[in-house]
Amino acid sequence: MAITTVPGAVRAPGRPAPSPPAGPPRTNLGRKVRDNLTGHAFLIGAVLCFTVFSWYPMVRGVVMSFQRTRRGETTWVGWDNYLRILDDPSFWTAWQNTFYFTGLALVLGFAVPFFVAILLNEFRHARGYLRILVYLPVMLPPASALFLFKFYAYDPSDAGLFNAILNAFGLPTSQWMQSPEMTMPAMVIASTWMNMGSAVLIYLAALQNIPGELYEAAELDGAGIWRRIMHVTIPQTRLILALLAMLQIVATMQLFIEPLILANGAGAEDSATSVAYLIYQHGFFQNDLNGAAALGVIMLVVLAGFSAVYLRLTARQD
Amino acid sequence: MAPDTGTRTLISQAQLRRGRGRAVYWMLLAVVVVGFTLVFLGPLYWMVTGALKSGQEIAQTPPSLFPQDPQWQNYADAWHHLDLAKLLFNTFYYATGAVLFQLVFDTAAAYALSKLRPVLGNVILGMMLATLMIPAMVLIVPQYVTVIDLPILHINLLDSPFAIWLPLVANAFNIFLLKRFFDSIPEDLMAAALMDGATPLRTLWSIVLPMSRPILGVVSIFAVTAVWKDFLWPKLVMPSPETRTVSVGIYAFAGGTPMNVVIAASVIAAIPTVVIFLVFQRNIMSGLTTGGLKG
């Protein structure tokens, strides 16, 4: 969902390792650094920022999850933080909600952009306009867009935008965020609307790389539109589909701002609480940064496990 | 984007030009254009005009399509009550700083990794790219703890713009994008500059950077929109009302402010990114797709 760009994970930078200098086979490190002072000076700013704000916090998150800080004193507490987090009555609900959201968002936010891209790719007119339209919501600050949904679209009275539309078609209206059953679908709709633009554009670019001869040949063989999609379009874009599916799952598992703004956090009957929201609750409201760190580690393990299984499965198809 | 005409797609051109195919094509196009306009522009229209309605009008059933008596006061109230001028200035300040920091440090690092062959260059690059795999939410707590008490220096960065600027420099995607661009600059050019006695800094400044304008533009635009759209991190590290970003400010006021005023403020907060998008849409769309897909 919240994919803004396709990280370069697809293609590892193709630069071959620098060829070793022709001189003596092993020079000492200090000399190498001194010989190439500018090179290392240029690196230092970014490396420092990565060290302090990225690499070190990764280690620190794990360390923190086994410690407890009380009145400035930090002690090792073993698995206490994890046990406390598991005891949180919202823990399993949060995971359930998060998986539900991820699944629903996958159905909507993954399939819809792909078919929208296929459709847009066929048009020879209004291409620029349609592209701008689809991407426009991506540029809105999420808080702005979500207030629009919260106050206008999901207004549970008949004055709300969605209920007015449902009324106009004679369909039953909904309580939206007030109803525990509709909370998740409503959040998925808002989230898909906000985020699908980038996926559509990425698919469009992938579709344009499919050689036209393949469609030509399929058509000559008598394949209809549906079969051409199944046997040409999908196999030709399989890599990018697989990659975006994974990125989307990782992004949607971090569901946070939607419950915070649309559902004031937990939502009706805890129907909106997400794992990320629980991290936020523990860390910044219950004065339990260590518990929050433990939950972060659990989340990391779950996502890493998922990615490993996923990569295994997609690799096997080759 | 690839050239539009002449490339064969799912359905052949010839089929679309003749008789029934042509009719279906134009009908479908009309449906999609109208449908997309309603789905993607409609809510924005609703937002802008809804904020012009009075409290009574917004609660009326069925809702009115046009505001009967436009309440410009709602926008004025939003501007004054939320001190939007201050919030917008803060956000703009953080965004500008983020662009500068990312351009300077990420460009320098990518250039070094691409052309200057530092010790362990590939290991460093690998470790940077590995951070792309770590979900942001997992790091939020240890990052916060780091920012409130920087290791070794023991400085608290809360409410300091550096709390936004410095973590953004650690952006592996930028480094990757820039490095890949620099990799495509011919080695001959670098050798020629070296032959003429240019230092690496001089080469970067006079040869590499002028050639890299498009990619630097993409990095800058993404930096601005990232800061403008971000919510949780600025909410945590900019806690005081003086230093808030616009999204966080609106959220903080949402509880005790009339709904239409909150929406009016949301509209104002969205204007800068929408304008940036409309002006730079070409760069943004090409930046989005050159990321990792083509060649």
* CATH classification at residue A113: 1.10.3720.10
CA distance B123 to A36: 17
Q: What is the pLDDT of residue A4?
A: 42
| Position A189 in a domain | yes
Query: Taking all residues of chain B, what is their mean pLDDT, rounded to a whole number?
Result: 88
The CATH class of the B77-290 domain is: mainly alpha
Mutate which: A33, A53, A161, vs B, most B CBs within 10 A? A53
| Position A67 in a domain | no
> Could you report the predicted ipTM of this complex, rounded to two decimals?
0.88
Q: What is the pLDDT of residue B163?
A: 95
Tell me the DSSP string of A3-14: --S--GGGS---
* 8 A C-beta contact, residue B215 and residue B189: no
| Position A10 in a domain | no
| Position A69 in a domain | no
Could you tell me the CA-to-CA distances from A41 to A48, A51, A82, A142, B113 in Å, in that order?
11, 15, 42, 38, 11
Query: Taking all residues of chain A, what is their mean pLDDT, rounded to a whole number?
Result: 85
Please tell me if residue B148 touches chain A, with a CB cutoff of 8 Å.
no
- pLDDT greater at residue A37 or residue A6: A37
DSSP element (H, E) containing A69: strand A67-70
The end-to-end CA distance of chain B, in Å, is 13
For range A132-158, the mean pLDDT: 91
- Residue ranges of the domains in chain B? 13-50, 77-290
CA distance B45 to A133: 13
- pLDDT greater at residue B111 or residue A38: B111
Tens-place pLDDT, residues A153-211:
888 888 888 888 888 888 888 888 888 888 999 999 999 999 999 889 888 888 888 88
Tens-place pLDDT, residues B262-278:
999 999 999 999 999 99
Please provide the size of chain B in residues: 295
Test A140 with B270 for CB contact under 8 angstroms: yes
Tens-place pLDDT, residues B34-84:
999 999 999 999 999 989 988 888 888 778 888 888 889 999 999 998 899
Is pTM beyond 0.90 here? no
| Position A27 in a domain | no
Could you tell me the CA-to-CA distances from A268 to A148, A176, A178, A180, A265 in Å, in that order?
19, 10, 6, 5, 9
CB-CB neighbors (< 8 A) of B139 in chain A: 54, 57-58, 61, 296
| Position A157 in a domain | yes
| Position A238 in a domain | yes
Lowest mean pLDDT among A31-35, A69-73, B51-55, B215-219: A31-35
Task: Output Rg (C-alpha) for chain A, integer angstroms.
Answer: 25
* 8 A C-beta contact, residue B220 and residue B279: no
Q: What is the pLDDT of residue B48?
A: 93
For residue A296, give both structure tokens.
């972060």
- pLDDT greater at residue A244 or residue A277: A277
CB-CB neighbors (< 8 A) of B184 in chain A: none
Q: What is the pLDDT of residue B1?
A: 40
Q: Does the pLDDT at position B15 exceed 80?
A: no
CA distance B218 to B235: 26
What angle in degrees, to the nearest 10, is found between the helix axes of B19-36 and A91-122?
140
Tens-place pLDDT, residues B179-194:
988 998 888 888 888 8
A57 to chain B: closest CA residue: B142
Test A131 with B291 for CB contact under 8 angstroms: no
CB-CB neighbors (< 8 A) of A159 in chain B: 58-63
| Position A195 in a domain | yes
Q: How many CA atoms lie within 13 A of A87 on its CB side?
A: 7
Structural domains of chain A, count? 1
